[in-house]
């Protein structure tokens, strides 16, 4: 019977969700106690709570009617008018979006998704709990683990999901402001954490399966066949081409016999010959022609001068 009362009160609370928090809290504060009173009487008379009181929605509607015009206006009358208008507009948008997806309203659809969120919330809480219990050895995957035990982790997850669903089902009976604010903060934290977890898992997955990716960055671009020699370019972790570097072979304890290119003195023909070098340098905003030195076709600086500066003058003869 007590569970019935809690559920009934929760359903009434849900139907009044659009009321301002303080008014709603005041209306619902005593409701479970009152319903318990009614239930005791109704049982003594041989009936059931719902048969006597009608559906929670009907009860909520009747309760709402008792608010009448007495919904406090007070000093914030103008503000409350604005709030009411804004809420009206929100409700319209809610219904319009709802029509598109085939529900009475977007919020209606959201309410249907709520149990799903409770399950996800329980799972995330279990993941955090397992991480704390295992000494925070860092994220290893999407499954919660106690130490190395996935089974243990899943048992914890199951327990947390059950707890989370129970919390969700009875949430409407906890109407104190701090309880609502507190659960909101915790939920927001869990959502952020969940997104972080998703990104982390996705990152690991794409790194694992993305081996064929040919990128500009080290570690993704390994050529095991290189024996030394040839033309090289040295890049840092961000793919920036380093200049004035040398490569030393530790086995032979000597500089490798290779030409090491960079973007400082690159020539047009070098760009054409090594497209990768061109791409790396363009990535740094350097293009051929920007470079201070000319190409191999640059004209020699010494050119023969042919014009004599002095021309012989012939003196006129008488």
Partner 1 sequence: MDTTQLLKGVLDLAVLAVLREEDGYGYDILRRLRSAGLDEIGDASVYGTLRRLFAAGYLTTYVVPSEEGPHRKYYSLNPSGRSQLKTGGETWRGFAATMDALLESR
**Using rule CB under 8 A, residue 60 touches partner 1:** yes
> 303 Cβ partners below 8 Å, 6+ apart?
none
* Identity of the residue, 10 or 60, whose beta carbon is nearer to partner 1 in the bound complex: 60
Residue 41 Cβ, how far from partner 1 at the closest point, in Å?
5
The per-residue b/e assignment along 46-78, b for 16 or more CB within 10 angstroms, e otherwise, is eeebeeebeebeebbeebbeeeeeeeeeeeeee
Work out the number of other CB atoms within 10 angstroms of the CB of residue 8.
22
Residue 134 Cβ, how far from partner 1 at the closest point, in Å?
45
**Using rule CB under 8 A, residue 67 touches partner 1:** yes
* Identity of the residue, 59 or 127, whose beta carbon is nearer to partner 1 in the bound complex: 59
Window 7-36: residues binding partner 1 (CB under 8 A): 26-27, 29-31, 33-34, 36
**Using rule CB under 8 A, residue 90 touches partner 1:** no
**Using rule CB under 8 A, residue 242 touches partner 1:** no
**Using rule CB under 8 A, residue 37 touches partner 1:** yes
The per-residue b/e assignment along 86-104, b for 16 or more CB within 10 angstroms, e otherwise, is eeeeeeeebeeebeeeebe
Report the candidate in 47, 58, 65 with the shortest Cα–Cα distance to residue 12.
58
Window 274-313: residues binding partner 1 (CB under 8 A): none
In DSSP terms, 235 is beta-bridged to: 241
**Using rule CB under 8 A, residue 51 touches partner 1:** no
- Structure-derived torsion over alpha carbons of residues 171, 174, 179, 182, reported in degrees to the nearest 10: 0
Residue 69 Cβ, how far from partner 1 at the closest point, in Å?
10
**Using rule CB under 8 A, residue 73 touches partner 1:** no
Report the candidate in 33, 28, 30 with the shortest Cα–Cα distance to residue 2.
33
Residue choice 6, 11, 63, 171 for contact with partner 1 (CB under 8 A): 63
Binding site for partner 1 (CB under 8 A): 26-27, 29-31, 33-34, 36-41, 52-54, 59-68, 70
């Amino acid at each position: 019977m007590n569970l019935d009362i809690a559920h009934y009160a929760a359903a009434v609370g849900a139907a009044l969700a659009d009321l301002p928090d303080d008014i709603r809290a005041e209306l619902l504060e005593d409701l479970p106690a009152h319903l318990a009173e009614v239930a005791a009487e109704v049982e003594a008379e041989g009936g059931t709570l719902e048969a006597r009181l009608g559906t929670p929605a009907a009860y909520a509607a009747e309760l709402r009617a008792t608010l009448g015009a007495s919904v406090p206006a007070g000093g914030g009358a103008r503000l409350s008018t604005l709030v009411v208008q804004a809420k009206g507009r929100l409700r319209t948008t809610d219904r319009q979006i709802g029509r598109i997806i085939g529900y009475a309203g977007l919020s209606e659809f959201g309410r249907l998704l709520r149990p799903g969120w409770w399950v996800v919330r329980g799972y995330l809480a279990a993941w955090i709990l397992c991480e704390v219990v295992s000494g925070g050895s860092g994220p290893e995957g999407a499954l919660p683990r106690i130490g190395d035990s996935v089974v243990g982790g899943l048992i914890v997850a199951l327990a947390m999901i059950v707890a989370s669903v129970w919390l969700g089902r009875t949430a409407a009976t906890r109407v104190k402001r701090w309880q609502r604010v507190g659960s909101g903060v915790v939920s927001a934290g869990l959502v952020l954490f969940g997104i972080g977890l998703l990104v982390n898992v996705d990152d690991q997955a794409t790194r694992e399966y993305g081996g064929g990716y040919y990128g500009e960055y080290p570690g993704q671009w390994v050529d095991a066949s290189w024996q030394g020699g040839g033309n090289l370019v040295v890049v840092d972790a961000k793919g920036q081409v380093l200049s004035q570097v040398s490569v030393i072979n530790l086995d032979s304890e000597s500089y490798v016999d290779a030409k090491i290119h960079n973007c400082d003195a690159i020539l047009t023909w070098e760009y054409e010959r090594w497209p990768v070098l061109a791409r790396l340098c363009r990535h740094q905003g350097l293009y051929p022609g920007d470079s201070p030195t000319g190409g191999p076709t640059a004209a020699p600086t010494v050119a023969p001068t042919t014009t004599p500066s002095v021309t012989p003058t012939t003196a006129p003869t008488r």
